[in-house]
C-alpha cells in the first residue's frame, strides 16, 4: 500500500470515530510510527490499551469502538502517549509517571490549540493537564463533561447516577449502593451481604 493510500485509509476509518477537524492530526501520528492500531469491541474494564512484547510484530494500540467522538480522540492520544514512552524511555518506569504525563501533554495541547473542541471539553482538558490523571475515566470532571456528548447509542448507566440504597446488577451479581468512600461506593452484594468498593464510574444495570 502506498503512503498516500495508507494515509487515506486511516483517515477514512478515523472519520467514523473522531471529529473531522482532528482526523489528519491523529492519522498522521499513527501512520508515522511502526505500530498496529485496532478498533475493538467494548471492554468493561478499559477504554483502550497499549501492548508490546516479543509475541507482537510491532507495538499495538486498541480502542473501544463504542466511545463517543471526543472520548475516542482523547483515549487514542492517551494510548499513543504510552507508545512514545516506550519509544523514548523504555518501560521500566511508572505506567502513568512523569514521562507519560509529559508525552500525553505534548499530544493533547495541539488539539486544544486547534480551537475546534467544545468549550467545556477544552476547559476540562486544560484543568486535567494541571494534575494529569491516568485516563479520562479517572478524572471525574473530564469524564462527566465527555459523557454529555454520548448519544443514545453510547448511553450507559454509571453507579454514581443511582441513589443510595438503589439496587443494580454488575457482572451478573445483585448489589445495593451504599455511601461514597472517596471515588468508590461501598456496595453490598445480595444475598451474601458481602461488601465491595465499586468505582463511581462502573457501568451498571439499574433494577427497577
The predicted model scores a pTM of: 0.78
Domain count, the chain: 2
Question: Is the domain of 123 the same as that of 174?
Answer: no
- Domain boundaries, position 11: 3-154
Q: Over range 10-35, report the average pLDDT.
A: 93
Sequence length of the chain is: 208
Question: Is the domain of 202 the same as that of 145?
Answer: no
Question: Is the domain of 165 the same as that of 141?
Answer: no
pLDDT given for residue 84 in this prediction: 95
Among the three residues 154, 179, 194, which one is the final residue of a domain in this structure? 154
Question: Is the domain of 124 the same as that of 85?
Answer: yes
Question: Is the domain of 70 the same as that of 19?
Answer: yes
pLDDT given for residue 139 in this prediction: 76
Question: Is the domain of 106 the same as that of 24?
Answer: yes
Residue 171 has pLDDT above 90, yes or no: no
DSSP codes joined into one string, 125-188: HHHHHHT--SSTTTSHHHHHHHHTT--GGG---BGGGSPTT-EEEETTEEEE---EETTEEEEE
Amino acid at each position: 500500500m502506498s503512503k498516500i493510500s495508507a494515509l487515506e485509509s486511516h483517515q477514512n476509518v478515523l472519520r467514523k470515530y473522531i471529529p473531522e477537524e482532528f482526523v489528519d492530526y491523529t492519522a498522521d501520528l499513527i501512520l508515522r510510527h511502526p505500530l498496529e492500531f485496532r478498533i475493538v469491541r467494548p471492554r468493561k474494564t478499559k477504554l483502550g490499551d497499549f501492548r508490546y512484547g516479543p509475541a507482537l510484530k510491532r507495538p499495538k494500540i486498541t480502542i473501544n469502538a463504542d466511545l463517543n467522538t471526543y472520548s475516542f480522540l482523547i483515549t487514542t492520544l492517551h494510548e499513543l502517549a504510552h507508545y512514545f514512552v516506550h519509544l523514548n524511555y523504555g518501560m521500566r518506569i511508572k505506567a502513568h509517571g512523569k514521562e507519560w504525563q509529559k508525552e500525553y501533554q505534548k499530544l493533547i495541547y495541539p488539539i486544544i490549540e486547534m480551537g475546534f473542541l467544545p468549550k467545556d471539553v477544552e476547559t476540562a482538558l486544560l484543568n486535567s493537564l494541571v494534575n494529569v490523571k491516568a485516563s479520562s475515566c479517572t478524572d471525574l470532571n473530564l469524564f462527566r463533561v465527555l459523557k454529555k456528548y454520548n448519544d443514545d447509542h453510547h448511553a450507559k448507566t454509571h453507579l454514581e447516577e443511582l441513589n443510595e440504597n438503589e439496587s443494580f446488577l454488575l457482572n451478573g451479581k445483585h448489589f445495593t449502593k451504599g455511601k461514597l468512600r472517596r471515588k468508590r461506593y461501598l456496595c453490598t452484594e445480595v444475598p451474601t451481604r458481602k461488601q465491595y468498593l465499586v468505582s463511581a464510574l462502573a457501568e451498571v444495570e439499574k433494577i427497577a
